[in-house]
Amino acid sequence: MKNLYKALLSKINEGSQCIMLTYLNVHNTRKGSIEKKIFLTNHEIEKKSFPFCDDVYEKMCLSLETGKLQMVSVEENKTVLIEPFLPKPRLVIFGGGHIAKPLSEFASRVGFATTIVDDRPSFANTQRFPEAEKVICENFQKSFDLIQLTKSDYVVIVTRGHRHDGIVLREVLNYDLSYIGMIGSRRKVNAMMKELLSEGFSQDKLDLVNSPIGLDIAAITPDEIAISIVSQLISFKNKVVLSKFGKNFILPEFDRSVMEEISTESAIPKAVITILSSKGSVPRKAGAKMVAYFDGRTIGSIGGGCSEAAVLSKIRENMTEKFFCIEHVDMTGDVAESEGMVCGGVMEVLVEIF
């Protein structure tokens, strides 16, 4: 388990789309044992690198195309759970100043994994950017060795000066990226573009730079500018999703801290809880995970409240055994009212105890 999820997390960090297969031996309709787990990258699936039956390959492809969990029966009393794992789009923000702070916060809330780069310790630290997945304090030019930009990355350049913007942009233009945006007045930006043209950068490459940055909402304050930039990032991200996957695609839930927790050794029993399906108004969608320990500690959430607490209480009674079970979580009626919800929903959750 530990090594498997570490390897999966490593592939996701590299930008790979992955599938995890969990083979479930079903003893009755709600309980059984876990036979094995296998994960594959999208490239391995395309090449059919493993000898799976056609039904499994078909469901794996469907899972990647839709972003949704799939289940397929392969033998009597044996079912395979197919989970898609897609990396969050990464936003690399060069500059840790007054615009970077709200930008990182807002971008994190709408699904970007943010990385902050600045060469000043007072600006590049986790206290200033607690929501960022990574904060790098380094010379801008040297920082590229630590970032390793990929095609799926989004880059925003909001450094403290025109000279630093130019240093970063010259490096960034060497990569094929999903988005490049740079702050600056039209006069300064036009002057820089002429300079870059004279240095040999192509006009086609320079046309990819969004500057002035953000959607035109007449933004003035740092928060307003950050909102305009995030709006443009969402527009680019969703256009990529629509063109690549179609309108029925749903980006799967992915909590890096939960994945890292699954990857760690534990001296006491722990359970991995995954939402298999949901109906109605529920806080988290299918694919969301949490980890629960025998001593009561939890990482992540499947929605919180008394419904989650009831599941945790029920499984903790049996955590000395290794098995899986499927629990029904009801947040309708009285439960929804007690939770203060406008309307409720129901979920099926898979509990794997290791």
Whole-model pTM: value is: 0.75
Assign residue 34 a region (left: φ > 0; alpha: ψ between -120 and 50; beta: otherwise): beta
Q: Tell me, what CATH number does 125's domain have? A: 3.40.50.720
Q: How confident is the model at residue 41 (pLDDT cuts 50, 70, 90)?
A: very high
Q: Give the per-residue pLDDT at 222.
A: 96
Q: Give the per-residue pLDDT at 334.
A: 47
CA geometry: angle 196, 197, 199, nearest 5 deg: 65
Which one of 220, 244, 268 terminates a domain? Answer: 244
Average pLDDT (18-35) is 91
Please determine, for residue 339, whether its predicted confidence score (pLDDT) is greater than 80. Answer: no
Residues 6+ apart with CB under 8 A from 311: 273, 302, 327, 329, 349, 351
Q: How confident is the model at residue 224 (pLDDT cuts 50, 70, 90)?
A: very high
Residues 50 and 109 in one domain: no
| Integer angstrom CA distances of residue 82 from 69, 161, 267 | 6, 48, 28
Please determine, for residue 351, whether its predicted confidence score (pLDDT) is greater than 70. Answer: yes
Q: Give the per-residue pLDDT at 254.
A: 84
Q: How confident is the model at residue 200 (pLDDT cuts 50, 70, 90)?
A: very high
Residues 45 and 3 in one domain: yes
Average pLDDT (145-174) is 93
Q: What is the pLDDT of residues 259-282, one digit of tens each?
A: 989 999 888 999 999 999 988 878
Which one of 62, 86, 110 terminates a domain? Answer: 86
| Integer angstrom CA distances of residue 34 from 207, 266, 316, 324 | 52, 18, 18, 7
Q: Give the per-residue pLDDT at 338.
A: 55
Q: How confident is the model at residue 8 (pLDDT cuts 50, 70, 90)?
A: very high
Q: How confident is the model at residue 342 (pLDDT cuts 50, 70, 90)?
A: very low
Residues 325 and 307 in one domain: yes
Q: What is the pLDDT of residues 80-117, one digit of tens each?
A: 999 999 888 899 999 999 999 999 999 999 989 999 99
Which one of 86, 105, 138 terminates a domain? Answer: 86
Please determine, for residue 323, whether its predicted confidence score (pLDDT) is greater than 70. Answer: yes
Greater confidence, 317 or 327? Answer: 327
Q: How confident is the model at residue 2 (pLDDT cuts 50, 70, 90)?
A: confident
| Integer angstrom CA distances of residue 254 from 247, 285, 311 | 20, 11, 21
Residues 129 and 240 in one domain: yes
Q: Give the per-residue pLDDT at 150.
A: 85
Convert 301-347 into a string of H (helix), E (strand) and C (coil). CCCCHHHHHHHHHHHHCCCCCCCEEEEEEECCHHHHHHCCCCCCEEE
Number of domains in the chain: 3
Residues 167 and 106 in one domain: yes
Containing structural domain, residue 293? 253-354
Q: Give the per-residue pLDDT at 241.
A: 66
Residues 116 and 225 in one domain: yes
Please determine, for residue 329, whether its predicted confidence score (pLDDT) is greater than 80. Answer: yes
Residues 111 and 215 in one domain: yes
DSSP three-state, residue 299: strand
Q: What is the pLDDT of residues 114-133, one digit of tens each?
A: 999 999 999 999 999 999 99
Yes or no: say if 31 and 325 are a contact pair by the CB < 8 Å rule.
yes
Residues 59 and 178 in one domain: no
Residues 236 and 300 in one domain: no
Residues 238 and 107 in one domain: yes
Residues 137 and 238 in one domain: yes
User: In the predicted model, what is the mean pLDDT of the chain?
Assistant: 89
Residues 119 and 207 in one domain: yes
Helices and strands per DSSP (H, E), number in the chain: 12, 15
Please determine, for residue 243, whether its predicted confidence score (pLDDT) is greater than 70. Answer: no
* Residue in 113, 171, 179 with CA at minimum distance from that of residue 139: 171
